Amino acid sequence: MTKNFFDTGICSSILHRCYAQFKNINSVGLLPKRRRRYTIKQIFINISSFVFLFSLSQCENSDKDLKDFSSRNIGVEEAKEVDINYTLGGKAKAKLLSPLMLRVQDTMPYVEFPQKLHVNFYNDSTIIESQLDSKYGKYFESQSRVFLRDSVRVLNTKGDTLYCDELYWDRNRIGTEFYTDKPVRIRTRTQIIDGIGMEARQDFKEWHIIQVTGVIKVPATEFPDN
């Protein structure tokens, strides 16, 4: 816990020095000119020190208070247990679920999902064709782009699964909506493929690893339940 400035004795010490110097201020004129400048300078330094330390003493707000103050100034709207539907041409294309959503009105407005999010992607018959999970997401509204981070997973209807730590979902990149330049792992029914960088369709039926670093053949019987 931060100790209050006025409880330390520093305040009284500085004030005492200031008082002593001001008390003798009338005698300053009797001192040599060089000594007189030195005395006035010391008084100014002591006053400045007091003002600075007093300012520090006011900064005992808790982290929560500071966060709330910042949120009010930036402009943050909070929503819990959100259920968002994305449509295209009147048809549902995706459904996003998250326990917490923050809409931040910054210089570049964005929507943040600081806990976790789950997305279902639909085909034209509104049947789920792929699913996405991530522990964190950040949606840049002006760019129609979502940044996903931490335990990102994408699963298609065949069971092929993408695992990575960072992934972008950009609806403007038709045919390669998912992409990353970070390490990835894709698990299919017959193999595990590791690599660096990847592009994939939103339904995850087609994907391309930029640089394959390893392939492991596995029996279909060892395919995990997702």
Tens-place pLDDT, residues 136-161: 999 998 888 999 999 999 999 999 99
For the chain, what is the mean pLDDT?
A: 78
Angstrom distance (rounded) from CA 54 to CA 47: 11
Residue 19 has pLDDT above 60, yes or no: no
Residue 72 has pLDDT above 60, yes or no: no
Angstrom distance (rounded) from CA 35 to CA 97: 73
Angstrom distance (rounded) from CA 131 to CA 145: 17
Contact 81, 93 (CB under 8 A): no
- Collect all residues with Cβ–Cβ distance below 8 Å to 197 and sequence separation of at least 6: 180, 181, 182, 184, 209, 210, 211
User: Which residue matches tokens 């549902």?
Assistant: 92
Beta bridge partners of 118: 97, 133
Residue 94 has pLDDT above 50, yes or no: yes
Per-residue pLDDT, averaged over 158-166, amounts to 96
Beta bridge partners of 170: 145
Residue 214 has pLDDT above 90, yes or no: yes
Per-residue pLDDT, averaged over 80-98, amounts to 91
Q: Among residues 6, 53, 55, 46, which one has the least CA distance to residue 22?
A: 46
Which pLDDT value is given to residue 60?
47
Per-residue pLDDT, averaged over 167-171, amounts to 94
Angstrom distance (rounded) from CA 207 to CA 185: 12
* Coil vs helix vs strand at 33: helix
Angstrom distance (rounded) from CA 110 to CA 88: 21
Which pLDDT value is given to residue 107?
81
Q: How many CB atoms lie within 10 A of CB 130?
A: 24
H or E segment and range at residue 160: none
Residue 74 has pLDDT above 80, yes or no: no
Tokens coding 159: 């069971």
Residue 7 has pLDDT above 90, yes or no: no
Contact 159, 226 (CB under 8 A): yes
Give the amino acid at 20. A
